[in-house]
Amino acid sequence: MSTRLYQPAFVGGELSPALWARTDIARYSTGLKQAKNVFVHPHGGISNRPGTEYLGETKSSANNSVLIPFQFNETQSYALEFGVGYIRFWRNGGLILASGGGVYEISSPYAAADLATLSFAQEADVMYIAHRAYPVRKLSRYADNNWTFADVTFTPAMQPPASCTAAVQSSTSGKTGYIAHTYRYKVAAISEATSEESLPTAEATCVNDLSIDGGINRITWPAVTGASKYVVYKFLNGSFGYIGSTTDLLLDDENITPDKADGPQQGRNPFSGAGNYPRAVTFIQQRLALASSDNEPQAVYISQTANYENFGYASPAKDSDSITFRMRARQINIIQAMLAARYGLMLLTSSAEWVVTGGSKSDAITPSAIVIGNQGYRGSQQLQPIAVGETILFAQRSGGVVRDFSYSYGDDAWVGKDLTIMSRHLFKGKKIVSWAYAQANESIVWVVLDDGSLVSLTYIKEQDVWAWTRHESGLGAKYECVICIAEDDEDVPYFIVRRTVNGVTKRYVERLHSRSFDAIDDAFFVDCGLTYSGAPINTVSGLGHLEGATVVALADGNVVRNLTVTGGSVTLPNAASKIHIGIPYEAVIQTLAIDMGNVQGLGSVQGRFKSVSAVIARVENTRGIFVSSKDVGRDDEKIVELKQRSTEAWGSAIQPFTGDIEITPMPDWNRDGGMFIKQFDPLPMTILSLMPDVSMGR
């Protein structure tokens, strides 16, 4: 007699071997022993991932390069390829070309070893890039093939008047009580576009006695392009103070008392010279924040409000002035990354996590309102954190750990958990080198590890969904970088993948294909692949990037295996009008050892012999899966293929099926009872639940 079991979801993801005996935890019932080349849906099902499109080779496969996302709006997004001495620009899956022909590129200063640790922050058409070994640079976009990349000078964009002159307009010399005073003045211009105040002019002086009625000093200056008005400062008792503003090019001082609480700007560039270049950059409360140079690893510098390149200040300080502070802790906290977070600025350091606020939840950070609160002592890698809604994900400095971090009202603190605790085997001895978040459509974080492996995390905090799976590809694929940019209402991952093609190392830019399709001939489940669409053909060319490789094709919805690329082309046995062709990959899920609790008073069934006589799978848009009790290939006699003959539309390609399917695996008694479900072909597979019929032995 057999018993039907039920696994309703797979939101546990791939569990570490250390947990394969933990039938007492909730995730055992939704976890897997193996989840390869699949991803978990937030609602619980699991699908084979789509394939990757080949976009092109990096400029130099001999050197590493990285991708940086540049997202202007929902329709204008770019993948920036940063290599040794250059930047190239990818958009909608292709390289941007120069107006005169050829690939458009601009020069950059970065060495190969420094590319992975670039920190960047973007607003509209401008991106600031920081690295501890280079001056801060600004990348500006004017058109698809018109970009500039220059050092930031950190001086006000608004220029002061070229000079100012102070002259006695009405003298009191000779009047009773006259005492000669030297009056000192400075003038600054205010930008019409940004309201930014320039640095002041050099001071101008004149001699008079304005304390006697009738004395007037006139201050004049030349016009400044783009100025909306001018402000005049006067020296008194050791410092300059405000005496007036005007749209004219002169101001008369009739013994105006300067406002010493409002002084002129003093210029400052804290990032000048080697050792002073910051390693981290972000935006916070309409300011640009830069932090952590070699000379000041714990220092944070925040620009003036809305004036990102102005780190000047006045004396006394104004709320809009730049801000400087340093972390004070038991040990040196190198600031690895920063991110604007709920209520303030999140600082992730090498040994702790901090949040900087203005003192309360509603207060902005200002020079006079800075409160630095410790939120934990985990420590972070130098890796840009990821924001998922109001939650922050960061990579712990050691141990291969990813943590989430969010504000808890109940605790009145930032709290989080280890998201890798259930899948530690995927990270053992490894570090994250690149990651990116694709919110649409499935809320997946794609993670590249330093050994070239790729894993993914489906993460929905409010539903307590966090499930890891892993991904592999052929031709010795090593993943080196990943970003996500918005294209066609999806967040699309772009990868740099190192492959060995015909004995030669190549670095390719590849894009994960959309998994949305209406008919089977639109399904794309090959790696490093290309698509042909047009009149029916037998010979597919343009495959030089896969020379010598064994590839697979989906031709008008029919699978064609064991094709070898020769001379950049392959020949199909039958002509087809829509062909997807590329490297095959295998999608695998392996269930955990069957646990039925106390069955028929027998106690635990762990370790008992079991046999699965049938498996019913509830599937969605699925075609062509295989089931076995052992890890074998498609030609092994122990594996059984789903035959979709009863619903097959003869004369056309078999379409995917939604519903319950039953497969009878080859008989096998073992102590595990787990099953392998595989997809070898470039076809869709989505498993919503599994229902094995299990017979029990001793």
- Here the contacts of 191-195 (C-beta below 8 Å, separation 24 or greater) are 191/157, 191/158, 191/226, 191/227, 191/228, 192/226, 192/227, 192/228, 193/226, 194/157, 194/158, 194/306, 194/307, 195/228, 195/306
What average pLDDT does the structure give for the chain?
Answer: 93
Is 646's pLDDT higher than 60?
A: no
> What average pLDDT does range 392-406 have in this prediction?
90
> What average pLDDT does range 174-200 have in this prediction?
95
In this prediction, residue 603 carries a pLDDT of 65
What is the length of the chain? 698
> DSSP 3-state assignment of 192?
coil
Q: What is the largest CA-CA distance in the chain?
A: 123
Burial class of residue 467 in the structure, from the number of CB atoms within 10 Å of its CB (0-12 exposed, 13-18 middle, 19+ buried): buried
In this prediction, residue 543 carries a pLDDT of 98
Is 644's pLDDT higher than 80?
A: no
Confidence band for 410, pLDDT divided at 50, 70 and 90: confident
**Tens digits of per-residue pLDDT, 298-332?**
999 999 999 999 999 998 899 999 999 998 777 77
Percent of the chain with pLDDT over 70: 97
In this prediction, residue 673 carries a pLDDT of 87
In this prediction, residue 642 carries a pLDDT of 87
Distance of CA 60 to the CA centre of its chain: 24
Helices (H), 604-667: none
Domains recognised in the chain with CATH numbers: 2-49+587-696 (2.60.120), 165-253 (no CATH), 526-583 (no CATH)
Confidence band for 598, pLDDT divided at 50, 70 and 90: low
Is 418's pLDDT higher than 90?
A: yes
> What average pLDDT does range 451-467 have in this prediction?
96
445, two tokens: 């974080």
* CA-to-CA dists, residue 82 to 93, 116, 474, angstroms: 16, 10, 25
In this prediction, residue 314 carries a pLDDT of 92
> What average pLDDT does range 528-544 have in this prediction?
97
* Higher pLDDT pick, 646 / 111: 111
* Higher pLDDT pick, 225 / 398: 225
* Reported pTM: 0.93
Helices (H), 47-160: none
> DSSP 3-state assignment of 427?
coil
Specify which of 18-32, 402-416, 602-616, 650-664 reaches the highest per-range mean pLDDT: 18-32
Q: Residue 572: name the closest of 545, 552, 546 by CA.
A: 552
Q: Is 274 left (phi over 0), alpha (psi -120 to 50) or beta?
A: beta
